[in-house]
Amino acid sequence: MNKKIFKPSSELPAGFIDRQEEELLARDLLISNIKKVMAKYGFQYLETPSFEFTDSIGKFLPDKDRPSEGVFSFEDDKKWLSLRYDLTAPLARYAAKNFNNLPRPFKRYQLGTVWRNEKPGPGRFREFLQFDADYIGTSNLFADAELCCLISEILSSCGLTKKEFIIKISNRKLTKGLLEKLKIKDEDKQSIVLRAIDKLDRVGLEGVQYLLGKGRKDKSGDFTKGAELDETQIKEIINFLSIKDLSDNNFERIEKIAEDNQTILDGVNELISIKKYFSLLKFDNFIFDPTVVRGLEYYTGPIFEANLTFSVKNNKGEEIEFGSIGGGGRYDDLVKRFNNQDCPSTGISVGLDRLIYAIIQKNKIKVEKKTPILICVFDEKYMDYYVKILNLLRTKNISAEIYSGSANIKSQLKYADKRGCNYVILCGDDEVSKNSVAIKNLEIGKQMSDSLKDRNDWKDSSGSQKTVTLDKLLDEII
RNA sequence: GCAGCUGUAGCUCAGUUGGUUAGAGCGCUGGUUUGUGGAACCAGAUGUCGGUGGUUCAAAUCCACCCAGCUGUACCA
């Protein structure tokens, strides 16, 4: 019998990743910018727990037969709990629970991890950080307009210029009215149509046309069943989609399509109000785009989406479909489902990890990575001397460390190289006896290595190294 | 979920029509240098060839099933 030794895998479950310092520091900076913007706009900071009762968040799932689809859940004491999949559903729950005590409108912002039990894609994970800002309890469209300004200000605070992103605005009532007009009443059909419209950017006008009709074949040859509409219906929808750009002041083309459909006309009027508020707020980095749909379940009115206008590459250098980095809209019925009280609301959310990924790639965020000065250990017997140097540096707030492993000097320098240290301090018999320190500048040494000719050059470290008495150490390093 | 592709050392990959002890580069460890990273040279370690079963004298290679990853698609509240 040969025993198999159990070897645990060092791999992570699909869709989960380790995040490293560069990304974390960029994230910290971004978060501190966000907090400043939020304070300026008068939002309150809130945190809700990671878990909710599955029922509390499950009610708004599109597929009501399988309420835990897409969510990580477990049964606790006979009640099902789920990790939150967004911050909006927990907010609605919070608002309903504290309905009488909260000022209304209630303006809150929140940063938090959310989890989705779905197939991960490029740049999409099953655990990610979201930022949300919401107005609870107001039907005033100024709130919606302000949210767009706010998201724009946050993106600007990351160093993105106006040309690098745009806020797309639409209204759920436009597509809702269109479906009414075309007499598409079957709910399944409605959602297929809306999803098809949503895919315009990805599959093109032709792809949408197939999805509205019999169906579409993808790149791998797989077939997606379509909505099977008749030709006039398809024609009307395609005609609607051709109005991609409404930035030029007039909504006449949509009104023309609407004819006497009141839902579409209401939607248009709301957009006109928002546009008016935008001009008061001097906000112009937006475009009205009736093809924006955003999800399916709870949006009831104006919807927005923040898109980057530059391309993003994956770690293999291939361009990837990045999609929107944030969005939101009006959800007038969400709180009502908890407490049966009218509570019109609107909000936005931003996927911070994706945003950070994009701005790091664009070199938009400059994070100073502080590396310590390494004090090498020649001999344990000199530890008191090394600690003296360490304290000298640290009391001046200079990042420093004594080598904490047990390797020889060569390896200690390799360690310093890997860490990206700028300086290394070397003290052996010679230095300690003269009460001095040798300071090696690794950057200069690196430059010198380009002009190495033979082994004697290589051995000679004098160019990058300087020996001074202990009291002059700080002068050399600052 | 569906479809296509891929799976060989820590990483990136080669491995012919099945054939002896499965390779390379990078990285790692040691040495040339008992106190010096980054250059150069020398030496060395490291593999359930994704898993299981089958065909065969013989399987990394062929077959079946399973698993994992990637890409597209579906879903994404």
Domain regions of chain A by residue span: 21-48+84-184+229-361, 373-477
Rounded Cα–Cα distance for residues A160 and A171 (Å):
26
Which nucleotide lies nearest residue A120, CA to C1'? B76
pLDDT, residue A63, reads: 45
Helix (H) or strand (E) holding A192: helix A187-198
| Rounded distance in angstroms from the CA atom of residue A6 to the C1' atom of nucleotide B54 | 27
Place of tokens 């009762």: A53
Closest of A43, A100, A28 to residue A339, by C-alpha: A100
Helices (H) and strands (E) in chain A, counts: 18, 20
pLDDT, residue A340, reads: 93
Cα distances (Å, whole numbers) of residue A85 to A52, A70, A71, A128? 10, 8, 7, 10
Inter-axis angle of helices A352-361 and A21-41, nearest 10: 120
| Rounded distance in angstroms from the CA atom of residue A8 to the C1' atom of nucleotide B53 | 24
pLDDT, residue A346, reads: 96
Which nucleotide lies nearest residue A421, CA to C1'? B37
Which nucleotide lies nearest residue A69, CA to C1'? B75
pLDDT, residue A135, reads: 97
Residue A275 dihedral angles phi and psi, to the nearest 5°:
-60, -40
Tokens encoding A258:
């609407």
| Rounded distance in angstroms from the CA atom of residue A458 to the C1' atom of nucleotide B40 | 10
Strand-strand pairing, A79-83 and A51-53: antiparallel
Helix (H) or strand (E) holding A468: strand A465-469
Task: Give this complex's ipTM.
Answer: 0.80
Give the bases of strand B that a protein CB approaches within 7 Å: 1-4, 28-31, 33-40, 48, 68-77
pLDDT, residue A3, reads: 38
Residue nearest B74 (alpha carbon to C1'):
A224
Closest of A370, A425, A418, A419 to residue A402, by C-alpha: A425
Q: Per CATH, the architecture of A373-477 is what?
A: 3-Layer(aba) Sandwich (3.40)
| Rounded distance in angstroms from the CA atom of residue A449 to the C1' atom of nucleotide B12 | 27
Q: How far is CA A473 from the centre of its chain?
A: 44
| Rounded distance in angstroms from the CA atom of residue A321 to the C1' atom of nucleotide B23 | 38
pLDDT, residue A4, reads: 43
Say if residues A105 and A42 touch (Cβ distance below 8 Å).
Answer: no
pLDDT, residue A251, reads: 82
Q: What is the pLDDT along chain A (478 residues), one digit of tens a residue?
A: 333 455 666 777 888 888 888 888 999 999 999 999 999 999 999 999 999 998 888 655 444 444 456 888 888 888 888 899 999 999 999 999 999 999 999 999 999 999 988 888 777 888 999 999 999 999 999 999 999 999 999 999 989 999 999 999 999 999 999 999 999 998 889 989 999 998 888 888 899 999 999 999 988 788 899 999 999 999 999 988 887 666 665 688 888 888 899 999 999 999 999 999 999 999 999 998 888 888 767 899 999 999 988 877 766 666 666 778 899 999 999 999 899 999 999 999 999 988 888 888 787 777 777 889 999 999 889 999 999 999 999 999 999 999 988 888 988 999 998 888 999 999 999 999 999 999 999 988 888 877 666 667 777 767 788 899 999 999 888 7
Which nucleotide lies nearest residue A225, CA to C1'? B74
CATH code linked to domain A21-48+84-184+229-361:
3.30.930.10
| Rounded distance in angstroms from the CA atom of residue A1 to the C1' atom of nucleotide B64 | 27
Q: Which amino acid is at A174?
A: L
Helix (H) or strand (E) holding A469: strand A465-469
| Rounded distance in angstroms from the CA atom of residue A354 to the C1' atom of nucleotide B19 | 52
Residue nearest B10 (alpha carbon to C1'):
A10
Which nucleotide lies nearest residue A315, CA to C1'? B70
Which nucleotide lies nearest residue A14, CA to C1'? B69
| Rounded distance in angstroms from the CA atom of residue A454 to the C1' atom of nucleotide B31 | 18
